[in-house]
Amino acid sequence: MVKKSIVWFEEVDKNDVGLVGGKGANLGEMVNARFPIPYGFIITSKAYFDFIKESGLKNTISQLLKNLNYDNPVELQQVSKNIQELINKASLPLDLSKQILHYYENLIIKENHYYKLKNNSFFQGLLKIRHLYKMPLVAIRSSATAEDLPGASFAGQQETFLNIRGENHLLKKVKECFASLFTERAIYYRYQQGFDHDKVGLAVVVQRMIESEKSGIAFSIDPITNDKNKIVIEAIYGLGEYIVQGKVTPDHYEVDKKSFLIIKKEIKNQSVKLVKANIENKEIKLGKEGKKQKLTDNEIIKIALLVSDIEKHYYFPQDIEWAIENDQVYIVQSRPVTTLNNFKLLNLDKKNNQTPILVGSPASPGIGIGPAKIIFSPKEINKINTGDVLIAPQTNPDYVPAMKKASAIVTEKGGRTSHAAIVSRELGIPAVVGAEGATKIIKNNQIITVNGSTGEVFEGKIIISNKEKQNHKKLLTATKVYVNLAQPEEALTVSKKHVDGVGLLRAEFIIADIGIHPKQFIKQKKEHLFINHLAKKLQQFVGPFSPRPVVYRATDFKTNEYRNLIGGKEFEPHEENPMLGFRGAYRYITNPEVFNLELEAIKKIWSKGYKNLHLMIPFIRSPWELIKIKSIIEKSGLFNYSEFKLWIMVEVPAVALNLEEFLKIGIDGISIGTNDLTMMLLGVDRDNEAVSQIYDERTPIVLSVLEYVVKTCQKYNVTSSICGQAASDYPEVVEKLINAGITSVSVSPDAIERTRELIYNIEKKLISKNLQHR
């Protein structure tokens, strides 16, 4: 574009940093992207250079800086003061002054006209609540820039003037912004960086002033840890100057970026606020109001949604200033977060800033390298050789033999609680799920590197960085740490970890390994083969973990999964919704002969002298089912073993909310299956990418139900545990349940050490808190 002295916001975008500075360029970019930006104009760097030249200051300033001893603070201060005084005393060119005043006088009219032209009902709604001043109230901000100097946007003092109204006041503050290019800090910074003072210019942003009732800053990542999965918001009452200055401590909120759940609130006491009062701002003392939460939950979510949209627009983490006026959230400015360099998202030695060819959701940590092999059904699992990277639309139990051989797994669908994710974590195989287009983007036999910690897939072989492994002490905790397992060959290795037992031993993978439908064994009168095989596999868990408990969850195959077994189609009906169909407890009651096969296998273990194998009933729906199942178990003789324990899974909302009735019937323990429970409480299919971001165990209603379940068990002195993915992924969920009185948590093998350490610290904090209240 032809260089102009003044431009409206919509006339520039992010490519015009050289003319209007980073701040001005971003405001123009966001206005054009329809974000709620208070409207304004920018006095460009061309106007600044013209002013310095026409006022005859260029040579004077150059001479003062040429003779300056930059390392002498007194001399630096004096030169800075002299230059600023020269600029403030000089007159702006007459033509420039007229242009500035013309833009200023037409600001509200232009804003109204621009947004109406855009036919945006959102902005037209905002216009109804604005006062149309003849001389509008504006904020003035500096924006240092230079076209050919990298990093020059930081080469000037970032100056801001609020509540500016009137022609003379405006022109005066524009010159003060120009003068801010020569503060001591700005001069010394340019000297250190080797910037030519003559080439660094300054643009001035003039923006309609928001009379903030509330204001603050938001980051699209955690600015301390660089956690890219959360949005951090800080808020105060009044104008935003006090949060920038650090005069008051803001409230701190954290929002999950996928589900937009508020996951953390820190409410701070604000003693004073700054408000607009005529031309000058006024400080007002706050009483009880200052101790309240500054933003409503709805306001937090509104800001988080805007922050997320802005980050998506820029494809880079953003640092954003926002304000609320008349219940409307405005974005005042946005800039890239500049503190990412110290955070390693990837423990890989990448060359030439290599970018991933595919990004999905991190599902199982670690790095996997190998040739890609794409398969679309279990019939193709023979294509997978040891060391291959398995690529598939999704997986189910039939893929397990191939998954065991893989160096890494990538699926196009699914979330962190999908089959591929759960099994990969148990096998210790790096995995990325929900990587859309994986089977098209990746080619067969293409060498790729999969980072299961970040969800990234790279072309070629990338060297793994050497990283010192942390040594985990054998910490002692009152809350037991159990492990979720499924593969017999993993049992011995995992049993050597600092773990208190198996809180969830899944039957499905053992049954899949047998490969034949249980009813086929019954039909052929070969029940003993099934029983012996299952007992043999169970012993592979029970032996290494003895005397630590192993809680075996009875088979929870759905009909579609059973149909994949040999003979399955003969015995299994077709269901439109197997997830809510013929499964779990109701199946055992309907087909007690199949359930008895599992009970006989368990009895075989007890008859060998082991006393640590217990039974957990999955997907139970009503109290009468528990009564009936207990009678079946009674007939099997398992209750004759006094140390035998019966647990149930709490994964159906009706069980969670009616738990007392189940406890009255008599059970020894419960384990909360957060995966299915959350899915049914929220009405969300966690494996459906179209809605999976809504799925979150930290949703308040889910947390309330979890807490109720644990406290109800405590009331009846019944063991309570949690075995869903939430225990492995969310420390805040674990902490809430420990505070409620949960007796154990069961996690994936990769989470044992960090969960033990987490629990240790939570319990330590609880003990300290209790001692203080004595």
Dihedral of the alpha carbons of 41, 45, 47, 49, in degrees to the nearest 10: 170
The single-letter code of the amino acid at 629 is I
Q: What's the one-letter identity of residue 369?
A: I
Q: Is 435 helix (H, G, I), strand (E, B) or coil?
A: coil
What value does the mean pLDDT take over residues 275-283?
76
| Continuous H helices in 622-722 | 623-636, 653-657, 659-665, 674-682, 700-715
pLDDT at 120 over 60: no
Asked if 390 and 444 count as a contact pair (C-beta separation under 8 A), the reply is: no
Supply 655's token pair. Answer: 């069980």
* Residue 551 clears pLDDT 80, i.e. is over it: yes
140: β partners:
161, 206
Mean predicted lDDT score pLDDT of the chain: 85
- Burial call 661-673: b when 16+ CB within 10 Å, e when fewer: ebbeeebebbbbb
How large is the average pLDDT for residues 250-276? 86
Q: Is 723 among the residues known to form the active site? A: yes
pLDDT at 465: 57
- On the question of pLDDT at 80 being above 70, the answer is yes
Catalytic-labelled residue, pool 197, 517, 713, 723? 723
Catalytic residue among 197, 419, 517, 614: 419
CB 600 within 8 A of CB 613: no
The DSSP annotation for 495-535 comes to HTSS---EEEEESHHHHHHH-B-HHHHHHTT-HHHHHHHHH
What is the C-alpha to C-alpha distance for residues 693 and 689, in angstroms, rounded to an integer? 7
For 136-162, what is each residue's pLDDT tens digit? 888 898 887 754 344 444 445 567 787
Rounded mean pLDDT, 439-448: 94
| 341 has pLDDT over 60 | no
Angle between helices 94-105 and 167-179 (to 10 degrees): 120
DSSP E strand stretches across 337-492: 348-349, 358-359, 361-364, 367-374, 389-392, 408-411, 431-433, 447-451, 456-459, 463-464, 480-485
What is the pLDDT averaged over residues 389-410? 87
Q: What is the pLDDT of residues 641-678, one digit of tens each?
A: 999 999 999 999 999 999 999 999 999 999 999 989 99
Q: State the pLDDT at residue 539.
A: 95
Answer yes or no: are the C-beta atoms of 50 and 42 closer than 8 Å.
Answer: no
Three-class SS of residue 234?
A: strand
Count each helix (H run) and each strand (E run) in the chain, helices first.
30, 31
**Omega into 653 within 30° of 0, i.e. cis?**
no
Taking phi over 0 as left and psi of -120 to 50 as alpha, with beta for the rest, 289 belongs to: alpha
Q: What is the pLDDT of residues 89-104, one digit of tens each?
A: 999 999 999 999 999 9
DSSP for residue 368:
E
Q: From the centroid of its chain, how far is CA 561?
A: 32
> For 14-55, what is each residue's pLDDT tens digit?
888 888 888 888 899 988 888 988 889 999 999 999 999 998
pLDDT of residue 134: 59
Least Cα distance to 315 among 337, 299, 331 occurs for: 337
Nearest to 294 by CA among 223, 233, 221, 362: 233
Residue type, 687: D
Q: How far apart are CA 376 and CA 724, in angstroms?
A: 28
Partnered with residue 448 across adjacent β-strands are: 370, 459
Please say if 177 is a catalytic residue: no
- Please state the pTM of the whole predicted model: 0.61
For residues 259 and 692, give the distance between their C-alpha atoms in angstroms, rounded to a whole number. Answer: 9
Q: 487 vs 309, 425, 551, CA distance in Å?
A: 42, 11, 14
pLDDT at 376: 93
| Strand, coil or helix: 43 | strand
Mapped onto helix, strand or coil, the DSSP state of residue 226 is: coil
| pLDDT tens track for 282-303 | 888 988 898 999 999 999 999 9
- With H, G, I as helix, E, B as strand and everything else as coil, classify residue 565: coil
Query: Are the beta carbons of 508 and 574 closer than 8 angstroms?
Result: no
Q: What per-residue confidence (pLDDT) applies to 580?
A: 87
Amino acid at 734: V
Q: Which residues in 47-124 belong to E strands, given as ranges?
A: none
Q: What is the dihedral of CA 153, 154, 157, 161, to 10 degrees?
A: 50
Stretch 199-208: mean pLDDT, rounded? Answer: 90
Distance CA 425, CA 417 (A): 10
In contact, 373 and 390? CB cutoff 8 Å: yes
Strand partners, 41: 8, 206
